[in-house]
Amino acid sequence: MRLRRFLAAGAALAVTTAAATLPPTAGPVLAAATPAASQTATAADSSVGGTIVHLFQWRWESVAQECADVLGPAGYHAVQVSPPQEHVVLPDENHPWWQDYQPVSYRLDNTRRGTRADFIDMVETCRDHGVQIYVDAVINHMTGTGSIGSGPGSAGGQFSKYEYPEVPYSDSDFSDCRRDIANWDDPDEVWHCELLALSDLRTSTAHVQQQLADFLNDMIAIGVAGFRVDAAKHMPPADLAAIYGMLDPVPGTGEQPYIFQEVIEGGGPDSLRPPAYAGLGDVTEFRYHRQVGAQLRDGQLSGALNALPGQMSLPAHQAVVFIDNHDTQREDPSISYQGMGSAHDVAQAFMLAHPYGTPKVMSSYPFTSTIQGPPSTGTAPGNPAGELTAATDCGSGDWFCEHRNPAVAGLVGFRNQVGDAPIADVWTGNGGAAAGFSRGDLGYAVFNRGGVLNGQTFQTGLPAGSYCNVASGSRSDGDGGCTGAAYQVAADGSFQANLGGDSVIALHRGETGSGDPGNGDDPEPPAGCEFAVTAETWWGQQVHVVGDLAALGGWQPANGPAMSSADYPIWRTEVALPTGASFEYKYIKRNPDGGVEWESGDNRSGTAGPGCSFQDNWRG
Ligand code: LM2
Ligand code: CA
């Protein structure tokens, strides 16, 4: 069900052919609450949406700047921003990020991400650059029982649990079941008891529905074009249908806001599963993270391809897909940028190139504790709102900015360029750790989570020519050359390449250009990096190097390259790593019985390049 234009402004630069194949601007939707209606595929609703990026916890000023500098030019369609309403303030827990998920009122006046004026400026600036704002809408509940039981909130509003005079809500506006959900298979409990002890709104009443619609319409009037509905699974579809039905069209486009609902698939009856909500708007497809994400993490590219779409719970046009989100990063950290680096980029790039679902790119900040708030220059209580650092300063180490990495940003443009062109020319290799496919005759992308693969030929549907690898650069405006590698596609549509470990090559018609060296060879062969560590061991122990690149075992002790003891007590090995890759690593001692001893302290870090050599001392 599509409510939005597929192409962001940045993609308008792209070359010709795709335009004809792109879906037209779809008309308004909603209202059709029956799943049956949504399963009738039409040309319009079989399309999937443009790329969303979740700028988790970014301040409004930084989002605005990013729309202008990065997101618009790269072709991102929308930004999911963190909840903007007044929330609890928790100095005792050092202002965790999840303060935002405990609303106190629906005022946008003062969160640590900025003021209402900043919010309005962000929406307008982004819109001017062709990027929409989607708000994370917390409408199932208000505050919880925790460190703070009463106000003031971030904008000064008074409250206590079940009493929120600013809205206003009072005791009778909350569900009768005043305890945590116990039976997750019982829809009545899941809908009407408390999630995490958060006061559960009686969303079936006219008063509550009106307050929620007023809150959402206030943001629509500002120009907000869509919503992630937080904890949608905890509200009956009928209540949601009533609320969505009260929403105004988005000014400017006249379309109804885009809605995607967070429904985490668990066990339980069909009424609690994603398809039950899909008639109302799109739905998060957690199987993508769980199944496709895990396979990409484990280097099973062919498995990831095979899972789509058959092993998903939703048809492509109703699913919002992601490799990780702000919750899974913390609760199920099996795949995220933290610790996975370039492997995570490969996974997000795969998601962008594949036509299944509306992709949501995660952009996050490093953390050592799961509750840690966003990077802030002030500390509580001296700076109670917590002054966030500028997220656009990606090099400072405060923010990861995954969405800027070439393999991610470049694949956003790829996705826009290929539109809904079908998958073709499927290739898998490297023992299933690499896979590639065409999107019609508009683009070709290949992904490798295994080791280096030299001199491979790939069959594409592209016309002969010289193409920029958009995963490593773009066409330079000055001389028509590529800023990264270029590949020559021959008259029969094939090209040859050396595929680095943990790497992506993506070619499309919108980014052609002559390349350096211009013959289709990867100009950056993998670098052989030497690792040497002085480490005393007992007889039978074996030293390995382990790190976040696939060639370093992806942090799996069993997969890290073994080192030679020929120069004992110096242990040595040489490992081929993707040139330019920054990585983290550590040494481990493996005992004959399989037990592992890690060296102490922080991860070590390095960058692969010509002559790379790392001389270290074991840290006991
Ligand atoms: C979501 N989707 O349905 C969000 O994606 C998720 O991040 C939210 O939880 C959750 N629903 C509620 O909106 C986060 C965070 C929780 C945190 C809540 C509320 O993951 O840890 O719960 O926000 O701030 C915290 C405490 C919890 C306590 C609760 C109420 O961790 O132990 O429950 O506050 O005080 C007693
Ligand atoms: Ca509820």
Single out the residue of 290, 317, 295 nearest to residue 306, CA to CA: 295
The closest ligand to the CA of 180 turns out to be 1
Q: Contact, 535 vs 497, CB < 8 A? A: no
Contacts of 147 (CB under 8 A, 6+ apart): 90, 92, 93
Q: Across all residues in the chain, what is the average pLDDT?
A: 87
Per-residue confidence band for 216, with pLDDT thresholds at 50, 70 and 90: very high
How far apart CA 125 and CA 132 sit, in angstroms, is: 10
- The residue count for the chain: 620
Question: Residue 286 CA: which ligand is closest?
Answer: 1
pLDDT digits (tens, 9 = 90+) for 280-318: 999 999 999 999 999 999 999 999 999 999 999 999 999
Of 89, 90, 98, 370, the one to substitute when testing ligand 1's pocket (max ligand atoms within 8 A of C-beta) is 98
Question: Which pLDDT does position 537 carry in this prediction?
Answer: 95
pLDDT at res. 480: 75
Residue 198 CA, closest ligand 1 atom number: 30
pTM: 0.80
The CATH number of 49-284+365-399 is which of 3.65.10.10, 3.20.20.80, 3.40.640.10, 3.30.360.10?
A: 3.20.20.80
Residues 70-108: pLDDT tens digits? 999 999 999 999 999 999 999 888 889 999 999 999 999
Separation between Cα atoms, residue 620 and residue 617, nearest integer Å: 9
Quickly count: other Cβ atoms within 10 Å of residue 78's Cβ. Answer: 25
In the numeric block, which tokens belong to residue 419?
């539109």
Atom of ligand 1 nearest to the CA of 331: 20
* Segment among 194-198, 248-252, 271-275, 575-579 with least mean pLDDT: 575-579
For residue 378, the model assigns a pLDDT of: 62
pLDDT of residue 348: 98
516 lines ligand 1 (CB under 6 A): no
Between CA 113 and CA 387 the distance in angstroms is 8
Q: Is the pLDDT of residue 37 over 70?
A: no
pLDDT of residue 515: 63
Residue with tokens 């002030």: 378
pLDDT of residue 516: 53
As given in the structure block, the two tokens for residue 452 are: 């280096």
The answer to whether the CB of 437 falls within 8 A of the CB of 444 is yes
- How confident is residue 220, by pLDDT bands cut at 50, 70 and 90? very high
Could you name the CATH architecture of 423-508?
A: Sandwich (2.60)
- Listing DSSP states for 328-361 in one string gives HHHHSTTSSHHHHTHHHHHHHHHHHHS-SSEEEE
Give the helix/strand (H/E) hosting 228.
strand 226-229
Residue ranges matching CATH 3.20.20.80 in the chain: 49-284+365-399
pLDDT at 20: 31
Neighbours of ion ligand 2 (CB under 5 A): 140, 200, 234
What integer pLDDT is reported at residue 386 of this predicted model? 54
Distance between CA 438 and CA 453 in Å, rounded? 19
Backbone dihedral angles phi then psi of residue 406, each to the nearest 5 degrees: -55, -40
Whole-number Å distance, alpha carbon 220 to ligand 1 midpoint, is 26
Residue 316 DSSP symbol: G
Residue closest by Cα to atom 28 of ligand 1: 196
Which active-site residues does the annotation give? 230, 262
Q: For the chain, give every residue range classified as CATH 2.60.40.1180.
A: 423-508
Task: Report which secondary-structure segment, H or E, holds 62.
Answer: helix 60-66
Other beta carbons less than 10 A from residue 95's beta carbon: 26
Q: Is 196 in the pocket of ligand 1 (CB under 6 A)?
A: yes
| Band of pLDDT at residue 376, cut at 50, 70 and 90 | confident
Q: Which residue has the tokens 């390049």?
A: 609
CATH 2.60.40.10 in the chain is located at 527-617
CATH architecture of the region 527-617: Sandwich (2.60)
Predicted confidence at residue 233, as pLDDT, reads 98
DSSP letter string, 276-308: HHTTTSEEE-HHIIIIIIHHHHTT-HHHHHHHT
Nearest protein Cα to ligand 1, atom 7: 327
Tell me, using a 6 A CB cutoff, whether residue 286 lines ligand 1: no
CA distance 139 to 412: 31
With a cut of 60, say whether residue 45 has pLDDT above it.
Answer: no
